[in-house]
Structures are given as C-alpha cells and as structure tokens.
C-alpha cells in the first residue's frame, strides 16, 4: 500500500542542524533491563521493591515482561538478584541513548515540510510548526486551545476542515503526549494532521476524509510535563501540579484523573509519589478538567465521531474499558472489528505487529482514563487508544529514525478507521 506522505520521507533529506539538549537529570550509567515476570509476579516485584527501582510499564504483572531502570550503584546487586533469569538489556547506558535522541533539529519558522519528522523538537518549535501550518492553509485551518495547563500553558492544537466550512461536520479528535515522556506520540499525532492537511488538494481519498469530518489535532495535551521532560528529566510522566498536603511529590497522572470510574480500586495509585497517581479527587488536574469540558462542548455543538488517545510504548490498539476487565461497551463487537482491521492495516506497511482488545485485558487495569470517559460520558461514536512503537528494544527513548516509520504505519491504521466507521 502506498501513501503520499511516505514518498516525501524517502525523497527529502533534512538540512536541520542538530543541537544537543541534555536533560538536567543525568541518566549516565543507568541501565534498562527487560525481565520475564513468569507466572508469579511476586519475585520480580520483590526485586524492584528491595532495590528501590523504577519500572517503565507499571508494576510487574504475571505473564508479561518488566522493563526495569537500574542506576549504576545498583547494577551489581540487581545482577545478583536476577541471576539465572533470561534478562535482556534494553539500554546499556540510558544517558547515552537520551543524549542521542535529544539532538533536536533546528526549525526555521515558516519551513513547513516533511523534514520536520526527521527529529524530535523543542516544545516552542512544536507551537511554531502548528502556527506555520495554519499560515500555509489559512482558509481551512486555525489554532485552537482546549484550556490551560496547571502552569498556565494553553493546550494547543490545530483544527482543520473541508469544503463544508468550519465546524459543520462531526469531529475527529486526536490527543498526544498525555504522558510527558512519550515523545513519539507528539510527532505521530502531528504527522496525522500534517498528512491530511497538506495532501487535501492532491489526494482524492484524503479530500473525502477532510470533507466528511472536522479534525482537531492536539499533539501535546500535557505541555508542562512535556517541557519538563525536555529540560529537567527525560523520564517525567505526570503533569506538574503541586504536591498535595502531606507529600513532597509533584504531579498527577492526567490519564487516571478523568471523572468516570475514578474511584474504582486497582487501576491507579493513591500515592502522590507514584507514576500513576490519580489525584486527590476526580478531575482535580486542570488539564483533565479543561479537556473534559472542551470535549463535551464539541460533542454538543457538532458531534464527536472519533476520539483517539495516542501513547507509547507497547504496540497496542485498544478499546474501552480500562476500569473493568469484565464490563464491555455497547458497541464492543464493532469496536473489536475496527481494531482488528486497524492493526492489520498497520502491519501491512512494514510488518509491525500490534495487539488489540479492551484496555484492561490487553495492557492493564486503568481507572479514570480518557477513553472510558469519552465513550460513556461524552458519548463519542468511536473511542480508541493506542500504544505506539516499540515493544521493548528502546521503550520511551525511541530513536528519531523511527519517527516516520511509526507515524506512517499509524496513519494506515487511522485511515482504516476513517474508511470503515459507520
């Protein structure tokens, strides 16, 4: 299958100058290991707890792998604990991997073209890229915001439309970078919007998509966290909300804070220091409050056809619900058929394999999530979430060389949905 944007990737080379942007927190000498958990998670969990280590994919779960970050001072002790286990090294030196990834391309304002996707970029350049894209297509696009972050940054996206005019068609809404360290989601969501808008005039199929729906593309819905991941700590996940009373730990996981099934136990943490801290009350993160209100307004004003929340990593394409492993949405049969088709379309591009199914049974239980909220409270026609590349070779620190392949295959899955939704 051939995509017009792919040809741009193959023929255009970047003239950008690399500028190293090392994070303030050093991960020099840190290693990341992938450990098979086996049928009993207690052994691996015990190692993590005993050595005070962090994991990249939540608490170790039976039948899966645990991706464990080990500082230099604990490597010897860790190796002793996992002796005899089939351990794989993901990052021999996490700091070196981050330094390589953080060679941001210099963006010249106004230079909107596919070379943008050859590297990661500073947050300010992401905003400029969106402004420049609107400037290139002023009659059918605009900058939109869906509220402000806890730090006062506007949650910024691009809205574009087709021949019917602005806000006349049902909406398709895409979210990226809910979790700050998931940088490939930022680039991928931008690519989806860029591919549709820049090929509208030349591609009949794409023109049909854009004439049928209004698109709202938000590459970074956690701007404070994203900036912090670029300037202070590459592994930062949450927003930058002040620590609650009695704790010194900053931030809420804004994808465990949505006001639907928030109080269900087992799908998020009540510990402010945990990566998946749900907050003290549902919707108490300003980002969540703003996004949920904005989505309800869009639904009321023009209808909400499709909502997708893009994350990384694990190569998954998932449907509601996260809060329960037994409850299923009314349209589950249709959701599964669409998800199956989407992962087949993704695989057809480069052979990349994704798994699909409900969030809870496919990855883990997650309460207070955007997808569950948008499905049941907002009432979107279709709701999905996706974990992008990869499955554990690089994890969150995905090389820039994989941005375009990731985005291109993701477009194939997205395209399948646009072709097959009722």
Percentage of the chain exceeding pLDDT 70? 95
Could you tell me the sign of the dihedral formed by the alpha carbons of 394, 399, 403, 408, in that order? negative
Q: Are strands 304-312 and 214-218 parallel, antiparallel or unpaired?
A: unpaired
Which residues partner with 383 through β-bridges?
307
Of 177 and 17, the one with more pLDDT: 177
DSSP line for 350-410: H----EEEEHHHHT---SS-HHHHIIIII--SEEEEEEES-SSSSTTS--GGGHHHHHHHH
Which whole number is the average pLDDT over 154-173?
98
Strand, helix or coil for residue 309: strand
| CA distance linking residue 157 with residue 145, whole number of Å | 6
Distance of CA 120 to the CA centre of its chain: 14
| CA distance linking residue 68 with residue 35, whole number of Å | 8
Cis ω before 313 (30° cut-off from 0):
yes
Q: What is the pLDDT of residue 105?
A: 83
Q: What is the pLDDT of residue 9?
A: 38
Q: Which two tokens stand for residue 147?
A: 């509220």
Q: Which two tokens stand for residue 367?
A: 């309460």
Q: What is the pLDDT of residue 3?
A: 40
Judged against a pLDDT cut of 50, whether residue 2 lies above it is answered with no
Judged against a pLDDT cut of 50, whether residue 305 lies above it is answered with yes
Distance of CA 405 to the CA centre of its chain: 16
Which whole number is the average pLDDT over 156-168?
97
> Does the predicted TM-score (pTM) go above 0.85?
yes
Q: What is the pLDDT of residues 57-85, one digit of tens each?
A: 888 999 999 999 999 999 999 999 999 99
Sheet holding 316-319: strands in order across? Answer: 141-148, 154-160, 214-218, 171-175, 304-312, 382-388, 316-319, 355-358
Judged against a pLDDT cut of 50, whether residue 8 lies above it is answered with no
DSSP line for 130-175: HHHHHHHSTTSEEEEEEEE-TTS-EEEEEEE--TT-TT-S-EEEEE
The mean-pLDDT minimum among 11-25, 298-312, 342-356 falls in 11-25
Q: Which two tokens stand for residue 78?
A: 């860790």
Q: What is the pLDDT of residues 367-409, one digit of tens each?
A: 999 999 999 999 999 999 999 999 989 999 999 999 999 999 9
Task: Let me know if 158 is exposed, middle or buried by CB neighbors in 10 A (0-12, 13-18, 19+).
Answer: buried
Which whole number is the average pLDDT over 165-174?
98
Is-contact 238 279, C-beta < 8 A? no
Which residues partner with 311 through β-bridges?
387
Q: What is the pLDDT of residue 361?
A: 96
- What does the DSSP 8-state code read for residue 59? S
Is-contact 392 65, C-beta < 8 A? yes
- What does the DSSP 8-state code read for residue 61? -
Task: Tell me how far CA of residue 285 lies from CA of 33, 178, 320, in angstroms.
Answer: 32, 12, 22
Q: Which residue has the tokens 């730090």?
A: 151
Q: What is the pLDDT of residue 7?
A: 39
Q: Are strands 382-388 and 316-319 parallel, antiparallel or unpaired?
A: antiparallel
Q: Which are the catalytic amino acids? A: 387
Q: How many residues does the chain have?
A: 422
Q: What is the pLDDT of residues 184-193, one digit of tens each?
A: 999 999 999 9
Q: What is the pLDDT of residue 11?
A: 36
What are the phi and psi torsion angles at 123 (to 5°)? -55, -45
Cα dihedral 357, 281, 68, 353, rounded to 10, equals 20
Written in H, E and C, the secondary structure of 81-126 is HCCCCCCEEEECCHHHHHHHHCEEECCCCCCCCHHHHHCCCCHHHH
Could you tell me the sign of the dihedral formed by the alpha carbons of 23, 26, 28, 31, in that order? negative
| CA distance linking residue 409 with residue 310, whole number of Å | 13
| CA distance linking residue 394 with residue 182, whole number of Å | 12
């Amino acid at each position: 299958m051939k995509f017009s944007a792919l040809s741009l990737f193959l023929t255009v080379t970047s003239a950008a100058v690399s500028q190293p942007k090392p994070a303030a927190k050093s991960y020099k000498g840190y290693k990341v290991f992938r450990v098979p958990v086996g049928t009993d998670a207690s052994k691996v969990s015990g190692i993590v707890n005993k050595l005070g280590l962090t994991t990249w994919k939540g608490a170790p779960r039976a039948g899966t792998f645990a991706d464990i970050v080990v500082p230099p001072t604990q490597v010897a002790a860790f190796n002793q604990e996992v002796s005899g286990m089939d351990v794989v090294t993901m990052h021999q030196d996490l700091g070196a991997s981050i330094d390589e990834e953080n060679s941001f391309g210099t963006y010249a304002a106004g230079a909107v073209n596919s070379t943008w996707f050859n590297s990661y970029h500073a947050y300010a350049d992401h905003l400029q890229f969106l402004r420049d894209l609107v400037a290139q297509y002023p009659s059918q696009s605009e900058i939109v915001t869906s509220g402000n972050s806890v730090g006062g940054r506007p949650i910024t996206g691009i809205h574009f439309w087709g021949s019917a005019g602005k806000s006349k068609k049902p909406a398709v809404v895409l979210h990226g970078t809910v979790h700050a360290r998931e940088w490939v989601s930022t680039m991928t969501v931008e690519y989806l919007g860029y591919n549709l808008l820049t090929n509208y005039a030349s591609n009949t199929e794409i023109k049909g998509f854009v004439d049928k729906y209004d698109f709202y593309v938000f590459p970074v819905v956690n701007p404070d966290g994203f900036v912090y991941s670029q300037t202070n700590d590459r592994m930062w996940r949450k927003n930058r909300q002040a620590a609650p009373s009695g704790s010194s730990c900053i931030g809420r996981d804004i994808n465990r804070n949505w006001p639907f099934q928030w109080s269900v136990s087992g799908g998020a943490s009540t510990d402010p220091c945990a990566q998946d801290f749900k907050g003290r009350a549902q919707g108490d993160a300003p980002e969540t409050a703003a996004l949920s209100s904005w989505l309800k307004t869009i639904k009321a004003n023009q209808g909400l056809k499709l909502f997708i929340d893009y994350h990384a990593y694990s190569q998954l394409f998932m449907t509601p619900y996260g809060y329960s492993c037994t409850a299923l949405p009314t349209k589950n049969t249709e959701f599964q058929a669409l998800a199956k088709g989407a992962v087949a379309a993704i695989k057809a591009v480069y052979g990349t394999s994704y798994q699909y199914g409900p969030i809870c049974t496919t990855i883990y239980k997650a309460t207070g999530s955007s997808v569950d909220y948008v499905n049941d409270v907002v009432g979107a026609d279709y709701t999905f979430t996706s974990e992008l590349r990869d499955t554990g070779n690089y994890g969150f620190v995905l090389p820039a060389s994989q941005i375009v392949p990731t985005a291109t295959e993701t477009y194939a899955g997205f395209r399948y949905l646009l072709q097959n939704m009722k």
